[in-house]
Amino acid sequence: MSAWLVNAAGVALIVSIVWWFWLVKPAAKRAEGGMIDVLVADGVYTPARIEVASGQPVRLRFLRKDPSACAEKVIFADLGVAADLPLGQPVDVTVAPPQPGEYPFTCQMQMYRGALIVR
Ligand SMILES: [Cu+2]
């Protein structure tokens, strides 16, 4: 009986890990008025998916709460934009995605991951 319970708990854990890491795509949050706050903490950008209007520059105000070196840069590889994120200090990054599409942004090790959804 208890072995069965342990197995069931193991399966539930595996399912939740798969769900969390591969299946969840958080809803995109719209950048109202061409600007949005992005929190950098606990291994995730919040929001991680940001919807912006095409043809307009958008200002992302990053606030880093994660002291690990992993979080110290944000890089928009496709846009040629990168910025240092000092701990606890808001940093504005303005980008102008040239056309509709998806533009990822990451930390330098690509553990933090986010995307601009340009429509
Ligand atoms: Cu990193």
Q: What is the CATH number of the domain that holds 85?
A: 2.60.40.420
**pTM higher than 0.85 for the full model?**
no
Domain that holds residue 107: 27-118
Task: Tell me whether strands 49-52 and 113-118 are parallel, antiparallel or unpaired.
Answer: parallel
The answer as to whether 78 is a domain residue is: yes
CA of residue 5 to ligand 1 center, whole Å: 37
Domain contains 20: no
The alpha carbon of 73 and the centre of ligand 1 are apart by a number of angstroms equal to: 8
Residue 11 Cα to ligand 1 midpoint, Å, equals 30
Percent of the chain whose predicted confidence (pLDDT) is above 70: 92
How many angstroms does the Cα of residue 105 sit away from the middle of ligand 1? 11
pLDDT, mean of residues 9-22: 74
3 C-alpha to center of ligand 1: Å? 39
Q: Where residue 25 falls among pLDDT bands split at 50, 70, 90?
A: low
Assigned domain for 65 exists: yes
pLDDT above 70 for 17: no
Query: Does 14 reside within a domain?
Result: no
Domain count, the chain: 1
**What gap in Å lies between CA 116 and CA 97, rounded to an integer?**
9
Q: How far is the CA of 1 from the centre of ligand 1 (A)?
A: 43
Tell me how far the alpha carbon of residue 109 lies from the centroid of ligand 1, in angstroms: 4
User: Do 106 and 75 meet the contact criterion of CB atoms below 8 Å apart?
Assistant: yes
DSSP bridge partners of 37: 61
Q: What mean pLDDT, rounded, does the chain reach? A: 91
The verdict on residue 10 lying in a domain is no
State residue 14's pLDDT score. 74
Q: Decide if 13 is inside a domain.
A: no
**CA dihedral for 117, 54, 74, 39, sign (positive or negative):** negative
Q: What is the pLDDT of residues 46-99, one digit of tens each?
A: 999 999 988 889 999 999 999 999 999 999 999 999 999 999 999 999 999 999
Is 81 contained in some domain?
A: yes
